[in-house]
């Protein structure tokens, strides 16, 4: 019976705290009305949460009939979480409180040539961020790291991450955890970008959407019924391995070879443009260069074909485009829409990411917060 009553107490506390997290300061009377719990049950739950430092008294409401009403709210400083985005060119680190508000952020170039050096750089940025926020490292409850590839629990390393040096070696997660000295989870970066978009960006309130990231590589994060879908092995969304419809080359990676940034640069050079990167091609197109506009239009056609292939399988309400290439929706929109219309009746809404280059970091924070609350109530 004691275990049953303890579980019921924690469930009631979580119900109350979930409301405070979503709606902010409330009175005990308001909480009883909204949660459906009795006033004594709400009072007991609030007493436990206040004693644990998770909830705090934030003011009074006067002027109503009866006694003065006390207001309570979540204590966002009860603990903090760490998010890390490890990309080919940049490492981004953020620290947030329990309401998801960033307290510090550090971005640094990724010039590491080995996995060990990459771990050291991530650690240095994380510790500097904690110093910026004037936080003790011990106040961090958990961390989530986003990286290209698929985590292999058997080896503790990342598979399918060729753009990061030595990233597939066994024991990688343990090395990161030992270096950062905090509970840590490693997840696919594009999956986290979808989580970030769902929590903070264009995917808010959407139950069925995908985020397609096109940059150095190609990947997709899938949200179904409001939850991230990763598949049996965690590799759902690895669309870079689809064969490109326009190519006779049906080898693995042909879709990535067809639409990623390097392909745009190759098409530009074949058109006589002396431009070395996709970023330069899009800039030239924005300035009205006819040859660059033609290259961008071709890219939009290929993107439209990819979106139709995705829509035929998943039927998303929304397609969010991210990554250095995908974010250029304005320049590609007409070609994307024309190609989608050519290929059939499946026409999901297509928008650019609302989070830009920070999507993975926001997703890491959102995921870390979910884990932190699970840990908090497990301890209770």
pLDDT band at 63 (very low <50, low <70, confident <90, very high): low
Does residue 6 surpass a pLDDT of 80? Answer: no
pLDDT tens column, 275-332: 989 999 999 999 999 999 999 999 999 999 999 999 999 999 999 999 999 999 999 9
Alpha helices by DSSP H, the chain:
2-23, 28-35, 39-51, 115-132, 172-180, 189-200, 254-259, 261-270, 278-286, 290-314, 323-326, 329-343, 359-379
**3-state DSSP helix/strand/coil percent for the chain, to nearest 5?**
50, 20, 30
For position 66, what pLDDT does the model report?
59
- The CATH number of the structural domain formed by 202-354 is 3.30.420.40
Q: Is the pLDDT of residue 250 over 70?
A: no
The mean pLDDT of the chain is: 90
CATH 3.30.70.270 holds for 2-74 = no
User: Hey, how many other C-beta atoms are within 10 angstroms of the C-beta on 192?
Assistant: 29
Give the model's confidence band at 243: pLDDT under 50 very low, under 70 low, under 90 confident, else very high: confident
Model pTM? 0.89
Predicted confidence at residue 251, as pLDDT, reads: 47
Q: Where in the chain is the domain with CATH 1.10.10.10?
A: 2-74
Tell me if 200 sits within 8 A of 310, measured CB to CB. Answer: no
* Residue of 220, 255, 116, 216 whose CA lies nearest to 174: 116
SS3 call for 315: coil
pLDDT digits (tens, 9 = 90+) for 22-44: 889 999 999 999 999 999 999 99
pLDDT digit string, tens, across residues 369-380: 999 999 998 887
Residue 98 has pLDDT above 80, yes or no: yes
Decide which of 257 and 226 is more confident. Answer: 226
C-alpha distances in angstroms, 101 versus 96, 190, 202, 291? 5, 22, 18, 44
Average pLDDT on 248-262 reads 72
Would you call 304 exposed, middle or buried from its count of C-beta atoms within 10 A (0-12, 13-18, 19+)? buried
Closest Cα partner for 263 from 307, 329, 324?
Answer: 324
Intervals of CATH 3.30.420.40 along the chain? 78-193+359-379, 202-354
Give the integer Cα–Cα distance in Å for 272 and 292. 10
Which class does domain 78-193+359-379 fall in? alpha beta
Strands of 80-86's sheet, edge to edge?
A: 102-109, 90-97, 80-86, 140-147, 184-188
Confidence of residue 48 (pLDDT cuts 50, 70, 90): very high
By the 8 A CB rule, do 255 and 242 touch?
yes
| DSSP label at residue 239 | G
Compute the average pLDDT of residues 249-271: 81
Percent of the chain with pLDDT over 90: 73
Task: Say whether pLDDT at 160 is over 80.
Answer: no
What's the confidence (pLDDT) of residue 249? 45
How far is residue 281 from each of residues 83, 101, 304, measured CA to CA in Å? 32, 36, 19
How far apart (Å, rounded) are the C-alpha atoms in residues 173 and 158?
9
pLDDT band at 62 (very low <50, low <70, confident <90, very high): low
């Amino acid at each position: 019976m004691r275990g049953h009553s303890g579980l019921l107490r924690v469930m009631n506390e979580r119900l109350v705290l979930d409301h405070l997290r979503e709606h902010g300061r409330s009175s005990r009377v308001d909480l009883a009305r909204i949660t459906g719990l009795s006033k004594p049950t709400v009072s007991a739950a609030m007493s436990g949460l206040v004693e644990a430092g998770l909830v705090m008294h934030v003011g009074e409401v006067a002027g109503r009939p009866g006694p003065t009403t006390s207001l309570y709210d979540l204590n966002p400083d009860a603990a903090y979480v760490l998010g890390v985005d490890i990309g080919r060119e940049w490492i981004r680190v953020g620290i947030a409180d329990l309401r998801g508000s960033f307290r510090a952020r550090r971005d640094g170039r990724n010039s590491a040539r080995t996995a060990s050096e990459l771990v050291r750089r991530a650690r240095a940025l994380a510790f500097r961020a904690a110093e910026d926020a004037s936080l003790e490292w011990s106040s961090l409850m958990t961390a989530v790291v986003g990286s290209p590839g698929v985590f292999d629990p058997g080896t503790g390393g990342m598979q399918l991450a060729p753009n990061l040096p030595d990233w597939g070696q066994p024991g990688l997660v343990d090395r990161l955890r030992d270096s950062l000295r905090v509970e840590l989870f490693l997840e696919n970066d594009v999956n986290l970008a979808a989580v970030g978009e769902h929590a903070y960006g264009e995917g808010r309130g959407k139950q069925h959407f995908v985020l397609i990231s096109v940059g150095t590589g190609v990947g997709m994060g899938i949200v179904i019924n409001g939850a991230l879908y990763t598949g049996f092995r965690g590799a759902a969304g690895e669309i870079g391995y689809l064969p490109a419809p326009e190519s006779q080359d049906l080898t693995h990676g042909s879709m990535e070879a067809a639409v990623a940034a390097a392909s745009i640069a190759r098409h530009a050079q074949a058109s006589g443009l002396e431009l070395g990167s996709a970023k330069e091609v899009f800039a030239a197109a924005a300035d009205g260069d006819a040859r660059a506009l033609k290259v961008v239009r071709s890219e939009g056609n290929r993107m439209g074909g990819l979106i139709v292939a995705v829509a035929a399988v998943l039927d998303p309400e929304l397609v969010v485009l991210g990554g250095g290439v995908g974010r250029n929706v304005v320049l590609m929109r007409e070609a994307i829409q024309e190609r989608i219309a050519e290929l059939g009746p499946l026409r999901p809404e297509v928008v650019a990411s609302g989070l830009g280059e920070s999507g993975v970091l926001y997703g890491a924070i959102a995921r870390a917060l979910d884990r932190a609350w699970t840990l908090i109530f497990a301890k209770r």
